[in-house]
Structure 1
Amino acid sequence: RCWEVIDAQAELALRSEGFCDIDAQTLESILQRETLNAKEIVVFEAALSWAEAECQRQELTTSTDNKRKVLGKAMFLIRIPTMALDDFANGAAQSGVLTLNETNDIFLWYTAAKKPELQFASQPRKGLTPQRCHRFQSCAYRSNQWRYRGRCDSIQFAVDKRVFIAGFGLYGSSCGSAEYSAKIELKRQGILLGQNLSKYFSDGSSNTFPVWFEYPVQIEPDTFYTASVVLDGNELSYFGQEGMTEVQCGKVTFQFQCSSDSTNGTGVQGGQIPELIFYA
């Protein structure tokens, strides 16, 4: 169960203070994980932070040479060639822990037709596959709804197994392509657990469009949580119909009920927030 949390909330775990306190064997176990749900630059930065702490534990100066030394073979568990080129050029390549040959070879690996052999793994981690719980059986649009004037669309949900909510799928414009600003929130008994403010572009179709939290939020079973969104956009949007109070998604059962926070009409039977995007 501990590995499930680390995988799903990998970036949060890697950036936590406690990460620097783990031993070298645990570090290697984490860096080996195929299902680690994190950008590789975050993995790299976490490994360097751990190395700095390990230098202090071993009473070594925190030089780049010593950081490389204490990392040992764990260094090659970081999948540096899978970073975005920009992340590599502005981060790892200038960190000082790579040799000049390694830096040169990785740059060639990114850009050259004939790629050099590397000691670093070049296959991206698989991470976790997000699942989607869709709570409506149909959707529609009308000439006078669904409209947004800064009001809140909200729904309550509960699960029978622990999951991690990564974001929501939202409806977009029913009048052609349009951009929306979305403030999403996740609460438990009024306490804010996660929020994000972002924009998404809809193409005029009845598809749902994902909006993500910065970090996935852990959801415990048999407790109701409140999913909310405040949308800002000029265009009317699609909205869900024939909502279900219970939805089976793989091995997880979701239950839905109306939320008193909802002031824009969303409820169990219809409205916005058609999808919860989650890791199980």
Structure 2
Amino acid sequence: MGKWKEPKLTKKLYGGAGKRQLPAKACVHFLETSLEAKNACVLLSQSRLFEEPKLTQCCWEVIDVQAEMALRSKGFCKIDWQTLEVVVTREALNTKEVVVFEAVLNWAEAECKRQGLPTTLRNKRHVPGPALYLVRIPTMTLEEFTNSAAQSDILMLEETYNIILWYTTANKPPLDFLLTKRGGLAPQRCHRFQSSAYCSNQWRYRGRCDSIQIAADRKVFVAVLGLYGFSSGKAEYSVKIELKRLGVVLAQNLTRFVSDGSSSTSPVWFEHPVQVEQDTFYTASAMLDGSELSYFRQEGLTEVQCGKVAFQFQCSSDSTNSSWVQGGQIPELIFYA
């Protein structure tokens, strides 16, 4: 195997070197109507090639927040090596490091095919070049490492041995991989009530739907609905949360959570943060089944300013359990912006 060489960046995706076929306005328009996690990495590659900073920034907003979906998309495997390097270097990626590692392996297999190389372990190790060492393997848990990277056979035997020693011994060997965990993104919280939570026997669930409409004055990504639980002690709930737009379910999660009996909210996560477009109303819903007597709040706000984001709240016709703007459930949203 010869010395690794950095692949040349070409303008093949745009129909030939030196031929600019996608002007800036068309890029921006395509972004506004089509940018999502599955194509964000491809658009990032193209925006860097044609020096479109606005498109680049918008791509990063999606990739950072929805990193797992972006890195596991087919589009990620189509990016050029230079874009691979900047993505793997990215400090703000909001995902586990094992996802980054597996994405690099998938890209390497696709790159072997593009170069007409057999998809051998040797070639898959060779084509990422130094980008492989930008994966922060030591920040994985030991379980993640042993179930993924250690079994991939991409690492050399000495590398695998030293990483295991790094996990398990006090006298840690030097490693070629970065050791610091990515900073990720800091989530923000939006509380829609002014009053303190009430402990009352008047609020009951029985599997009915608590729902509220939300809108933001800029694009955000909703990750969590904060919910109230039992007002008289620890209790477990089964819950289904949804986020809809014009009646179409964009995301949902059927899970369980335990409330501790306090008036603090319990976070219930969507599988992935959900993109919420600017100045568009979405319906957030929760259907709980468990201990019936719950905390609730009153004195709800129709508008809440959270940092640079202003949220609006409206009543939802989906609500069959009395939640509305002025009171009830779904007191909190956790989001990225």
Normalising by structure 1, report the TM-score: 0.98
Q: Distance in 1 between matches of 2:168 and 2:259?
A: 34
Residue type of the alignment partner of 1:178: A
| Corresponding position: 1:141 with 2:199 | yes
Are the equivalent residues in 1 in contact too, given 2:228–2:263 (CA < 8 A)? yes
RMSD: 0.8
Residue 188 of structure 1: how far off its partner (Å): 0.6
Cα deviation per residue 1:72-117 (whole Å; 9 max; x = unaligned)?
Answer: 0010111111111111001100000001111111111111111111
Specify the alignment match of 2:38 in structure 1: none
Classify the secondary structure of the residue corresponding to 2:91.
coil
Q: Which runs of 5+ in 1 are unaligned?
A: none
Specify the alignment match of 1:256 in structure 2: 313
Q: Distance in 2 between matches of 1:180 and 1:3?
A: 36
Residue 234 of structure 1: how far off its partner (Å): 2.1
Within-5 A mapping of 1:107-118: 107-118=164-175
Residue 120 of structure 1: how far off its partner (Å): 0.7
* Higher normalized helix content (fraction of residues): 2
Specify the alignment match of 2:28 in structure 1: none
Specify the alignment match of 2:181 in structure 1: 124
Specify the alignment match of 2:242 in structure 1: 185
Specify the alignment match of 1:101 in structure 2: 158
Give runs of ≥4 in structure 1 deviating > 6 Å: none
Match of 2:288 among 231, 245, 260: 231
Greater CA radius of gyration, 1 or 2? 2
Specify the alignment match of 1:37 in structure 2: 94
Residue type of the alignment partner of 1:177: K
Classify the secondary structure of the residue corresponding to 2:328.
coil
Within-5 A mapping of 1:169-180: 169-180=226-237
Match of 1:272 among 324, 329, 333: 329
Specify the alignment match of 2:6 in structure 1: none
Q: Distance in 1 between matches of 2:268 and 2:124?
A: 38
Specify the alignment match of 2:302 in structure 1: 245
Q: Distance in 2 between matches of 1:150 and 1:261?
A: 13
Match of 1:20 among 74, 77, 89: 77
Residue 232 of structure 1: how far off its partner (Å): 1.1
Residue 172 of structure 1: how far off its partner (Å): 1.6
Are the equivalent residues in 1 in contact too, given 2:243–2:249 (CA < 8 A)? yes
Normalising by structure 2, report the TM-score: 0.82
Residue 235 of structure 1: how far off its partner (Å): 3.9
Specify the alignment match of 1:204 in structure 2: 261
Q: Distance in 1 between matches of 2:76 and 2:237?
A: 37
Are the equivalent residues in 1 in contact too, given 2:206–2:292 (CA < 8 A)? no
Instruction: Count how many residue pairs are aligned between Structure 1 and Structure 2.
Output: 279
Q: Distance in 1 between matches of 2:292 and 2:208?
A: 15
Larger relative CO (CA 8 A, sep 6+): 1 or 2? 1
